[in-house]
Chains A and B, each alone.
With several copies, the nearest count.
Chain A
Amino acid sequence: MNRFSVSESRIDPAIEKQGLDDVGAGACVIFEGWVRNHNEGKSVHQLDYQAYAPLARSEGEAILSEAMSRFKLRAASAVHRTGSLAIGDMAVWVGVSADHRDAAYNASRWIIDEIKLRVPIWKNEHYADGESGWLHPDNTPVD
C-alpha cells in the first residue's frame, strides 16, 4: 500500500482525502503547506521543489508507517509536490483519520515535522530581487 507519494502535478485534496475514510473514525486532521509570498523577510515569487524521488518515497512511507504504530490512527497519507510552484500552490498535503482528535492532531504534526526533517526534497526560492537559492536549513526550525 502506498501511503506517501511524490507528484509532479497539482495535488487534488479531495482525491487524497478519500484514502482516510473509515467508519470508525471520528476525527480527521489535514495539513496543507502552501507557497507563501514571503520567507524570512524576503519577498518570494516562485518556488521549485526537487526530490530524490525513490528515496523520498521510501522515507515518506517509513514515516507514515511509523505514525500508524506510534498513534492510534485509522489511516494516514501524504503527498509532496515537485517542480515549479506559484504563490498559493499546495506544496504538501498530509491527512490522518482517527477515532479521537487527540491522536489525529498529534500524528498530523509529527508527520509533517518528520517529512521536513528527513524526506530528500529541496526548495529553491526565487525572490523579488531576482536572486534565488536552494534552502539547506542548518538546525534552525523550518516553518
Chain B
Amino acid sequence: MNVRLLYFASLADQAGRAEESVETSANNPATLYDEVRQRHGFSLDTGRLRVAVNGQIVDWTHGINEGDEIVFLPPVSGG
C-alpha cells in the first residue's frame, strides 16, 4: 500500500525532504519507521519519538491503511 510521510525538524534534515510517498507492507508505524530509518539514516529511535496517523497521536502498534498521512514526531521544542 501507499502512505504519505511528513518529516519535521532533524528528521526532515536527515531525510533531505519534508515529505514523501512510500510503498510499504508494514502493518504498523513501528515497522514502517524501521524501514525508513534504515533508508534515511535517522538517528532518533522510536523510544524518543511519537507517531501521528491522520493527525492523531497513536500507539506504535496502530494499524496502517492505504493513503494514511503518517508523521514521526521528534521531541518537541516549542515555546
Contact = CB atoms under 8 A, between A and B. Distances in A.
Q: Please say whether the chains A and B touch (CB closer than 8 A).
A: yes
B44 A136 contact: yes
A20 B79 CA distance: 19
B13 A117 contact: no
Contacts of B48: 136, 138
Interface string A93-128: 000000000000000000010011111111110000
Contacts of A118: 76
A117 B9 contact: no
A15 interface: no
A142 B79 contact: yes
Query: What band does the interface of chain A fall in when counting residues whose beta carbon is under 8 Å from B?
Result: 20 to 34
A123 B52 contact: no
Nearest to B49: A136
B79 A91 contact: yes
A142 B77 CA distance: 8
A130 interface: no
A54 B55 contact: yes
Contacts of A55: 52, 55-57, 71, 73
Contact of B9 (A33, A54, A115, A136): A136
Given A52-B6, A138-B48, A122 B79 contact: no
Interface string A43-87: 000000111101110110000000000000000000010000000
Interface of B: 6, 8-10, 12-13, 44, 48, 52, 55-57, 71, 73-79
